[in-house]
Structure 1
Amino acid sequence: MAKTAFALNLPPEKAIKWLEDQGVSIQNRREMSPEDAAKVITVARISNLDMMQNIKTALVDSAKNGTPFAQFKKDILSHMQAAGWVHKDENGQPEIIDPDTGEVFGSPRRLENIYRTNMQAAFSASRYQSLMQNTHSRPYWQYSSVNDYRTRPAHAAMSGLVYRYDDPFWSTFYPPNGYRCRCTVTALADRDIQRRGLIVSESTAENLIDSESTSKSGQTYITKAYRAPDGTLVKTDKGFDYHVGKINYRPNLDEYDRKLAQQFAKADMTGAEFKTSLQRLQKEIKQAKKQQENGEQSAAGKSTGHSMKFAAGMLSDENQQLLQSSRASVWLSDDTLIKQIKNVAGQDADNFYQELPEVINMPDMIFKGKNNTFSLIRKTKAGHMLAIIRQMGKSKEIQVKSYQAISDSELVALQKKWQQLK
């Protein structure tokens, strides 16, 4: 990854904004996909919209005012009591019960999970952006757990580990890694590594592996596991094997110097995060196809992405005007990667996407198609490469819809079919 600071000038209110932008869900976090879990405040089993909104509002107010949990709990319980949600059980202990459905939500103690899990996720996402702001001077991150009697053994096993910020390790183990997780990440410079005699680890097939786990309901699922030096496998809690900050973070490249943003795109297309995501998707699709062939219930044909996207390149100023686009940045989603894996021959090669930023930035030819799509073609050592991009509706974001090598005959057919702009 290029050692470039993409300074975002993030204010402390970034965590508050993250909370304000979140949706709400009654689904259990353990049952949610990573992309959904990263974008909602989880309030499992509460189906009353007014009460969910009250909880979200209280979380946002707590973040703004620095309200401790005790006050948050008091405020929420007063709302619930006024709405007739709090009743005594047979032992005289308070229980939260939905008066519309009669469903028992649980004791007020469960409010602490809601508070701590969502607040930690908010500030974790905010801190990630701050850390990314300084990767040029502090490119190494150290996992830090509290290491007291409440620390999970799995989290204690990772305490002190140091990886570069772009190592695949952080895609799974950037905290929080479970309910009430208190772990953090500390950024370090080269001089810190040398002065403290720290070892910078690197993810390999031996220490960051795919591992099968079983949920409480008996269902099996595959997750990433860290193999500790003693051979034990360390995993996150179910539903926390994703990176809340990374899923929510991507710099607005249109706000930066174009050449600098193009370097970011080149780094994204060759970085460890992109390669790891591509390999993960390849494995998931291969497994889904195998299940389908065996007659098992399968997700083959459905998206298995995690709502991540990668910087694919920047349009030159000249070509941006040619396309009459309000944006220059072009993005590659993992949904497109899924389609690529299924339909495009030869794209498994590690260097297949290496030329994509140049195809976007300096195409030899540009053709205009239907529905705001454009075909960009550049001759490379591997032959003519075609990137089909499209400007999306209201967001105006430009996305790569397809990327592949084309033959001379296919190029001739394209010239006959579409309007050539360049």
Structure 2
Amino acid sequence: MPEIDVANLFGREPEQVVEYLKQKGYTFSWRWQDTLEAAHARAFTVAKVMRLDILQDIRDSLDRAIREGRTFEQFQRELMPTLKTKGWWGKVMVGDGAGGGEVVQLGSPRRLRTIYDVNLQTANQAGRYKSQWEDRENRPYWMYVAILDGRTRPLHRALNGKVFRCDDPFWDYFYPPNGWKCRCRVRALSAAEVESLGLTVESSAGNLSFKDVLLDAKTGEAIEVAVYKGTDAGGRAFTVSPDAAWSYNPGKAAWQPNLDLYDHQVAVKYLEGGLTGPDYRMFFEQRTAGNFPVAVLDEGFQATIGAKSQTVYLSDQTLAKNLIAHPELSIADYQQLPQIVSMAQLIVQDGDQSLVFVKRDDKIYHAAIKATKSGNGLFLTSFRFTSEADMERVKKRGTVLMDEMGK
């Protein structure tokens, strides 16, 4: 990858880019695979750095590189002596606790290069995402832009010039960077610009799927990535996926709170406010797409159904189907989801779904929650009113995990 021209990349002191790095907490990981995707967007980590002071040294140097437009050589010249002094340099033997061990690489010029490139490119794209999202009323269409030269990956080349609405789920998985040393970016466009350039706005509806790809050849560990099926400028069909561990939007992950890290009651209050705000109203009116957090499970509920996450999301596709199937539900009913799930009086496991029942104001609400294949995600799959008779039928059909309905 050619030298990143930081000064030209940002043009001025990039407040949002520096803010992206500064808002991250710290976490420790032995392998880069231990902290992936959204977790990496919210926490600064370097594989095999197990001391906080060394992590701080590296991040401080990255902050200065961005603020002052430093080249990699300047970044390396400042940081390398500090890392050597503190013993985080070269190859070392690390014991495995069972009498054996392995030789591992700590700091090196090559590793510093990777740290510099990945963090600056990711921070830059996260800053661009925030600016573009804040300006979405004026420029609601985003175009994927790849640098077209001899090093461009064929699949990134195929996406070049593709235009989607800014709220299309495509950007949840394909907002750059989409792999190691990815140089792609996104250009925001107004409706007038789309028309004047003769561009076609596409939709990912029906063209997005997911697959598991190998993450670590040693352990056989796999990770889920998005798959997009499209056609190129010549009308030829193609299928594209980000590299393993890059199937996420670093900006969206970083700037939105991770409710799984919040105390349950704090998360409930956050959602109560969020579901009465303009973003949720636009989502409910189907003017925006994606996944919206609508509920959080308390520890007891999580333990009861074996969930690994507390946040429950509602997808735009499920909402659309539910609005057709159950038009009697108003936005006011959907805005009660945080309380309804938190106040679950009856939980029944029915196949792969956890069914929640709550009686409020002479109405019985029925919400169905399903975990993703990995168990790390939770989605609301159905929401409706129900009856005492239907509730009893469900109890007989499924496995009752909790029943406080009569108390």
Q: TM-score higher than 0.5 here?
A: yes
Equivalent residues, number: 314
Matched, 1:214 2:214: yes
> 8 Å contact 1:25–1:40 — kept in the other structure?
no
- RMSD of aligned Cα (Å): 4.4
Deviations 1:326-374 (A, max 9, x none): xxxxxxx33x779xxxxxxx999533898574237699x99x989xxxx
C-alpha displacement of 1:209: 2.3
Matched, 1:301 2:303: no
C-alpha displacement of 1:154: 1.9
Deviations 1:255-278 (A, max 9, x none): xxx999633212234442028x99
C-alpha displacement of 1:201: 0.8
C-alpha displacement of 1:32: 3.5
- Fraction of identical pairs, as percent: 28
C-alpha displacement of 1:244: 1.2
Matched, 1:123 2:124: yes
Other-structure match for 2:190 = 189
Q: 2:41 aligned to 38, 42, 64, which one?
A: 38
> 8 Å contact 1:213–1:223 — kept in the other structure?
yes
Other-structure match for 1:68 = 71
TM-score by length of structure 1 reads 0.61
Match of 1:232, SS? Answer: strand
The CA distance in 1 between the partners of 2:16 and 2:65, in whole Å, is 14
Other-structure match for 1:268 = 283
Match of 2:49, SS? Answer: coil
Other-structure match for 1:18 = 20
C-alpha displacement of 1:236: 0.9
Gaps of 5+ in 1: 1-10, 87-95, 279-299, 308-332, 339-345, 388-399, 418-422
The CA distance in 1 between the partners of 2:128 and 2:389, in whole Å, is 51
Other-structure match for 1:311 = none
Matched, 1:358 2:361: no
- Name the CA shift for 1:29/1:151 in 2 (closer, same or farther; >3 Å): farther
C-alpha displacement of 1:243: 1.1
Q: 2:237 aligned to 231, 234, 252, which one?
A: 231
Matched, 1:81 2:55: no
Q: 1:57 aligned to 51, 57, 60, which one?
A: 60
Gaps of 5+ in 2: 1-12, 96-102, 258-268, 295-304, 345-357, 368-379, 391-403
- Name the CA shift for 1:48/1:274 in 2 (closer, same or farther; >3 Å): closer
Other-structure match for 2:350 = none
C-alpha displacement of 1:48: 3.5
Task: Tell which deviates more after alignment, 193-202 or 103-112.
Answer: 103-112
- Name the CA shift for 1:360/1:168 in 2 (closer, same or farther; >3 Å): closer
Give, as a single letter, the amino acid of the residue that structure 2 aligns with 1:268: F
Give, as a single letter, the amino acid of the residue that structure 2 aligns with 1:350: N
The CA distance in 2 between the partners of 1:266 and 1:247, in whole Å, is 21
Other-structure match for 1:315 = none
- Name the CA shift for 1:243/1:56 in 2 (closer, same or farther; >3 Å): same
- Name the CA shift for 1:369/1:201 in 2 (closer, same or farther; >3 Å): closer
- Name the CA shift for 1:153/1:353 in 2 (closer, same or farther; >3 Å): farther
- Name the CA shift for 1:192/1:80 in 2 (closer, same or farther; >3 Å): same
Match of 2:106, SS? Answer: strand
> 8 Å contact 1:31–1:239 — kept in the other structure?
no
Q: 2:385 aligned to 394, 405, 422, which one?
A: 405
> 8 Å contact 1:29–1:37 — kept in the other structure?
no
C-alpha displacement of 1:242: 0.9
C-alpha displacement of 1:239: 0.5
Match of 1:176, SS? Answer: coil
C-alpha displacement of 1:198: 0.5
The CA distance in 2 between the partners of 1:356 and 1:66, in whole Å, is 52
Give, as a single letter, the amino acid of the residue that structure 2 aligns with 1:267: M
- Name the CA shift for 1:239/1:361 in 2 (closer, same or farther; >3 Å): closer
The CA distance in 1 between the partners of 2:91 and 2:41, in whole Å, is 27
TM-score by length of structure 2 reads 0.63
The CA distance in 2 between the partners of 1:356 and 1:15, in whole Å, is 40
The CA distance in 2 between the partners of 1:47 and 1:26, in whole Å, is 7
